[in-house]
Amino acid sequence: MTFLKRLHLFEISLIVVVLALHSYVALSDAYNLPNAWYTRDDAYYYFKVAQNITEGKGSSFDGINPTNGYHPLWMAICIPIFFLARYDLILPLRVLVMVMALIHVATAILIYRYLKENLSEAVGMLAAVFWLFNAYIQFTMYQYGLESPIALFFIVLLIYKLSRFEKKRRAAPVTPHDVALLAGLATLTLFSRLDLIFLALIVGVWVVFRGEVIRTFAPLDIFLIFLAFVCAVALKTDIPTYNALYARSAVQMAVIAIALKIIALYFFGAYQHPRANSIWQTIRATLMAIGAGSALTVGAYLALAQFEIIGTLPRSAFILDLLLSGFLILALRLAAYRFGSPQTKPAVSPLESLKSNWKKWLGESAIYYGIVGGALGFYMLINKLTFGASSPVSGLVKRWWGTLGHTVYDNPPANWTSFLGLGYQNAYDAWQPTSNFFNWVAGKIRALYPGSNTLDERYYIAMAFFALAALLIFWFNAQRVKTKIAQLALIPLIAACGVQILSYTATAYGGAKEWYWNGQMVLIVLIESLILYLLLKPFQKVKFIQPVFKTAAISIGVYLAARQADYFRSAMLYNYFPPDRPYMELLPFLEANTPPGAIIGMTGGGNVGYFIHDRTIVNMDGLINSYDYFQALKAGQAPAYLRQHQVQIIFASANLLEYAPYNGQFAPYLESYNVYGGKSLMYLMDEPKY
Of the candidates 13, 1, 5, the residue with the CA atom closest to the CA atom of residue 108: 13
- Phi-psi domain of 499 (left: phi exceeds 0; alpha: psi -120 through 50; beta: other): alpha
Which of the residue ranges 153-162, 351-360, 453-462 would you say has the lowest mean pLDDT? 453-462
Of the candidates 306, 326, 304, the residue with the CA atom closest to the CA atom of residue 229: 326
467 CB neighbour count, 10 Å cutoff: 11
481-531 pLDDT, tens digit per residue, is 999 999 999 999 999 999 999 999 999 999 899 999 999 999 999 999 999
Rounded distance, CA 33 to CA 26, Å?
8
Per-residue pLDDT at 640: 95
Rounded distance, CA 480 to CA 428, Å?
32
Query: In whole angstroms, how far apart are CA 595 and each of 523, 609, 612, 616, 639?
Result: 52, 15, 12, 11, 20
Phi and psi dihedrals of 88, rounded to 5?
A: -165, 125
Q: What's the start-to-end Cα distance of the chain, in Å?
A: 73
Which residues neighbour 478 within 8 Å (Cβ) at sequence distance 6 or greater? 338, 339
131-183 pLDDT, tens digit per residue, is 999 999 999 999 999 999 999 999 999 999 999 999 999 888 999 999 999 99
What is the secondary structure of 427-476 as a DSSP string?
TTBTTTTHHHHHHHHHHHTTTTS--TT-HHHHHHHHHHHHHHHHHHHHHT
Single-letter residue type at 150: I
Q: What global pTM score does this model have? A: 0.95
What is the secondary structure of 300-353 as a DSSP string?
HHHHHHHTTSS----THHHHHHHHHHHHHHHHHHHHHHHHPPPP-S----HHHH
292-346 pLDDT, tens digit per residue, is 999 999 999 999 999 889 999 999 999 999 999 999 999 999 988 888 777 666 6
Rounded distance, CA 138 to CA 8, Å?
23
Query: How would residue 448 be classed by pLDDT, with cut points 50, 70 and 90?
Result: confident
Report the pLDDT averaged over residues 185-200. 97
Rounded distance, CA 687 to CA 671, Å?
11
Which of the residue ranges 303-307, 346-350, 471-475 would you say has the lowest mean pLDDT? 346-350
Query: How would residue 543 be classed by pLDDT, with cut points 50, 70 and 90?
Result: confident
Report the pLDDT averaged over residues 40-63. 97
Report the pLDDT averaged over residues 227-245. 94
Order of strands across the sheet that contains 599-602: 616-619, 599-602, 649-652, 679-684, 670-676
Q: Angle at which helices 214-236 and 247-267 pack, to 10 degrees?
A: 140
Which residues neighbour 164 within 8 Å (Cβ) at sequence distance 6 or greater? none
Rounded distance, CA 271 to CA 103, Å?
40
Query: How would residue 1 be classed by pLDDT, with cut points 50, 70 and 90?
Result: very low
* pLDDT of 420 over the 60 cut: yes
Per-residue pLDDT at 343: 66
Query: How would residue 2 be classed by pLDDT, with cut points 50, 70 and 90?
Result: very low
Q: 3-state class of 411 per DSSP? A: coil
For residue 670, the cross-strand partners are 684
Single-letter residue type at 585: E
Average pLDDT, the chain: 93
Query: How would residue 282 be classed by pLDDT, with cut points 50, 70 and 90?
Result: confident
Phi and psi dihedrals of 429, rounded to 5?
A: -85, 90
- Per the CB < 8 A criterion, the answer to whether 359 and 240 are in contact is no
Per-residue pLDDT at 338: 80
Rounded distance, CA 234 to CA 405, Å?
16
CB neighbour burial string for 193-221, b if at least 16 within 10 angstroms, e if fewer: bbbbbbbbbbbbbbbbbeebbbbbbbbbb
Which residues neighbour 578 within 8 Å (Cβ) at sequence distance 6 or greater? none
What is the secondary structure of 159-180 as a DSSP string?
HHHHHHHHHHHHHSPPPHHHHH
Per-residue pLDDT at 568: 97
For residue 650, the cross-strand partners are 601, 682
Of the candidates 330, 294, 329, 292, the residue with the CA atom closest to the CA atom of residue 315: 294
579-637 pLDDT, tens digit per residue, is 999 999 999 999 999 999 999 999 989 999 999 999 999 999 999 999 999 999 999 99
Per-residue pLDDT at 540: 80
- Phi-psi domain of 581 (left: phi exceeds 0; alpha: psi -120 through 50; beta: other): beta
| Residues of the chain above pLDDT 70, percent | 99
Report the pLDDT averaged over residues 106-116. 97
Rounded distance, CA 487 to CA 306, Å?
48
Query: How would residue 5 be classed by pLDDT, with cut points 50, 70 and 90?
Result: low
Query: How would residue 7 be classed by pLDDT, with cut points 50, 70 and 90?
Result: confident
Which residues neighbour 381 within 8 Å (Cβ) at sequence distance 6 or greater? 390
**Please, what's the largest Cα pairwise distance for the chain?**
86
Rounded distance, CA 599 to CA 614, Å?
9
Report the pLDDT averaged over residues 668-684. 95
Phi and psi dihedrals of 481, rounded to 5?
A: -60, -45
DSSP state of 616: E
What is the secondary structure of 102-158 as a DSSP string?
HHHHHHHHHHHHHHHHHT-HHHHHHHHHHHHH-HHHIIIIISS-SSHHHHHHHHHHH
